[in-house]
Structure formats: C-alpha cells, structure tokens
Amino acid sequence: MRDESQPAPAAAAPKAAQRRAPKRQVEKSEAMIAALLKATQDLLLEVGYSRLTTTMIAQRAQVSRGAMTHHFRSKEHLITTAIDRHLHEVNEQLFAFANDMDRHVDADATVDYLWAMMSDGLFYLTLEYLPEARHNEDFRLQVVPVVKEFHAGLEAIWDALAKRYNVDPAYGAVLMNLTMCLIRGMIAQTIVRYDKSYFEAMLSEWKSLLKTQLRTAPTPPIGSPQ
C-alpha cells in the first residue's frame, strides 16, 4: 500500500512560501519608503525646498512614480514625513547624550556636541522648511510636534548639565536658549561666509562665558528635586 503521508511535506511547502510572501512585501515596502525619505532629505539640502520635485525624489530613490504616490500623496506629504523621520533620529541621539552624561561631560563638551549636530546639515535643513511652515498652516501643524520633541531633548541635556553645576534649571534653560541662538546664527552666517577660525573663535569665547555664567548662576530653589 502506498504511504499517502509522504506528499504532505511537499504540499506544505507552498503554504510556507505564502506565509513568507507578505513579510517580504512589507520589508520591500519599508525599504522603498526609507529610500524615498532619505532622497527627500538629501535633495532638500542639495537643491532646496522650492526647486525640489517629486520626480527628482523618485529618480534619486530609484522608485517608480506610481510606487511613490502609493505611499505619499504629495510633495508636502513626502517632505513632512522626511522631516519627522529625520528629527526622530536626531531626538534619539539627544536623549541618549543626556542619559549618558556623567562627571566627564562638561559645558565645553556639550557646546561642541550641539555645534557638531546642528552644523552637520540639520540647521540647513531647518532653513529650507521654516519659510513653508510660516506660510502654510497645515505644513506647520505637521512639523510642530516633532520639533517640540527636539526641544525636549535639548532640555534634557541642559537639565543634566544644570544638575552637574548645581544651577537652577530655569536659569539653565536660559543658557540653553542663548547657546542655541548663537549656534543657529553662526550656521546661518556660514551660507555667505565660511571661515573656520572665525567660528571657532566665537565658540571658544562662548564656552568661556558659559562656564563663568554656570559658576555664578543661581542655585536651585530650596526643596526643589535634584
């Protein structure tokens, strides 16, 4: 008598392949989206918001326009999603830096870290989308939540620094905003003047002033959590 149980494994193989197919499709879709968002970020820096087109993005990502429009309904949708993805990655780095701060991370190291982060394309990217956010309320509402998360990451770093120097956190926040305003202004100036020694001198002077402010800053109110 023929053993009819033998064909079972062969019959099960197509079912296993069917189970793997959706997973492969999801992975392919995720890779396509990642390529589109990376292309959008890169092209925003290279050509700017106003010159950027969805055709350029699709070509850079090596994705068909049909596949792109399946996931993103417009240029605005692509850009806001790319900004959101990019800032989420930056925010993870900010909170990781804050969590890892110990006695060896001082004011100088903090300023150096923030300058490196902001001058590595982050603020140039911001300069591209801020004008659109100013004039386009829907666009602004889409980017505000992740920008707030970015500011929370900055505050986490400065809270840790304030604790190290025993400074009132409210005053630490003022120093943080002064530092970030200086860095933003310097990076904006690099558009028309890139002079490494010029900017290094300003950063060095600010570090000295910042340490003086931290040494003489108000201490936390009595009874406040440390």
What is the model's pLDDT at position 221?
Answer: 73
77-94 pLDDT, tens digit per residue, is 999 999 999 999 999 999
Distance CA 142, CA 134 (A): 12
In the chain, the amino acid numbered 200 is E
206-226 pLDDT, tens digit per residue, is 999 999 999 998 888 765 655
Provide the 10 A C-beta neighbour count for residue 17: 10
4 vs 147: which has the higher pLDDT: 147
Tokens of 200: 């290094």
Residue found under tokens 């003047």: 193
Distance CA 90, CA 118 (A): 10
pLDDT(139) > 80: yes
What is the model's pLDDT at position 29?
Answer: 87
